[in-house]
Structure 1
């Protein structure tokens, strides 16, 4: 019970800091009636409500994951941080294929399926983001073409 309450308290402080930082967003004269602050403040409010639920209604005896699960989570965090740093120099397709493949392999350790899902996700998401949503993504490193 104490671990849920401590995590809830930390989450509450982070949510309040998030809301406070959202109030600092500058609005332009051409903004919509709701403004750019509404969505971040809504996310912070939902996080604060969830934190209060954890503080006032914790689980009686939470089950902590085994060490192998913590290792898998650490690998996933490392992969996602490397992915964020690799996007700009390597383009979208290569880092997305690698990250999606590694994370897919963690979910189901079958190499063929992981490679196929990594390639499929990277190409499919690139097509969706570039052509359907009109984002300015670069597929590959600029020096390649």
Structure 2
């Protein structure tokens, strides 16, 4: 219950700050009748209402995952952040294969199957994104392809 109340209070404070920042949006002379402030204020109001409800009516105390699960989640976050930084310099295929293999290994710790899944996903997604969807991806690093 305490974790829900703390989270609800934090969400409410962030929502109120979001609403306050939304009121500072400058309107141009060609704005629509509703204006650019309305949508962010509505989002902030909904978030504030949800935070207040969570603070006033919390759920029972949750069962937090084991430390091993939290470690796996941390590894996944670090790998995905590294993936985002590796895409531009290394192309699509290599970082995607490594990331998919690591995440597949976390799901089912069999190295050969994880590696095959990584390579298969990488090449399959590249073909779909490049040729079926027409995205301008480069598959390999620029220093390899020239």
Q: TM-score range by the shorter chain?
A: 0.7 to 0.9
1:59 to partner: Cα distance: 2.1
C-alpha distance in 2 between matches for 1:75 and 1:139: 25
Please state if 1:9 is matched with 2:12. no
Structure 1 residues 73, 49: closer, same or farther in 2, change over 3 A?
farther
Please state if 1:70 is matched with 2:70. yes
Q: Within 5 Å, which residues of 2 pair with 1:11-26? A: 11-14=11-14
> Structure 1: which 5+ residue stretches go unaligned?
30-36
Please state if 1:97 is matched with 2:94. no
TM-score w.r.t. length of structure 2: 0.72
Deviates more, 1:45-54 or 1:114-123: 45-54
C-alpha distance in 2 between matches for 1:116 and 1:67: 29
C-alpha distance in 2 between matches for 1:12 and 1:6: 10
Aligned residue in 1 for 2:106? 106
1:114 to partner: Cα distance: 0.8
Deviations 1:7-35 (A, max 9, x none): 233345556666757x96x99x9xxxxxx
Higher Cα Rg, which structure:
2
Count of equivalent residues: 139
Does structure 1 retain, via aligned residues, the 8 Å contact 2:130–2:137? Answer: yes
Q: Within 5 Å, which residues of 2 pair with 1:16-55? A: 51=51, 54-55=54-55
TM-score w.r.t. length of structure 1: 0.72
C-alpha distance in 2 between matches for 1:81 and 1:11: 24
